[in-house]
Amino acid sequence: MKIRVGMGYDVHQLVEGRDLWMGGIKIEHSKGLLGHSDADVLLHAVCDALLGAANMRDIGYHFPDTAAETDGMDSKVILKKTIDLIATKGYRLGNIDATICAERPKMNPYIPQMKACMAQICGCDEDDISIKATTTEKLGFTGREEGISAYAVVLIERT
């Protein structure tokens, strides 16, 4: 069995007038993330990790922020298309380990819903998805609540 590992990172600015999407679910908050798509940093980091593990470039290559068809795109669609892309090279998801960096809102209450949503999209068990949340102790852009970032590491395996 051949396995490969990939790492992904994403960050988006918090702004008023946008919905906050994280891990494929809508979270109630006074601000949302600014981006060409719905700006779900967790799903974007996971997609970059998957694409990197399969040596298929990055999310911006496949889903450019200059394309009309990706304007306002639901990141759940991007994740599903990414799973399908790695399958064209004979890979499937092994597991995901991800971390969300946000001062507010607190993400921990939403993690079970995020895991369920992502597992359904990826066609895997919820146990194959680990999501953690942390703050930056009020340091940097995250601490000032100017944005949210996410990191992801994935393992993929040859089918």
Average pLDDT on 132-151 reads 97
Are 109 and 141 within 8 A, CB to CB? no
Average pLDDT, the chain: 97
* pTM of the model as a whole: 0.97
Contacts of residue 120, Cβ cutoff 8 Å, sequence gap at least 6: none
- Tell the residue number behind the tokens 């066609």, with chain if given: 123
Res. 37: pLDDT tops 80: yes
Q: Report the pLDDT averaged over residues 39-52.
A: 98
Nearest to 146 by CA among 154, 138, 134, 156: 138
Percent of residues, the chain, with pLDDT higher than 70: 100
Instruction: Say what the pLDDT of residue 76 is.
Output: 98
49 touches 152 (CB < 8 A): yes
Residues in the chain: 159
Q: Render pLDDT for 46-103 as a digit per residue (tens, 0 to 9).
A: 999 999 999 999 999 999 999 998 899 999 999 999 999 999 999 999 999 999 999 9
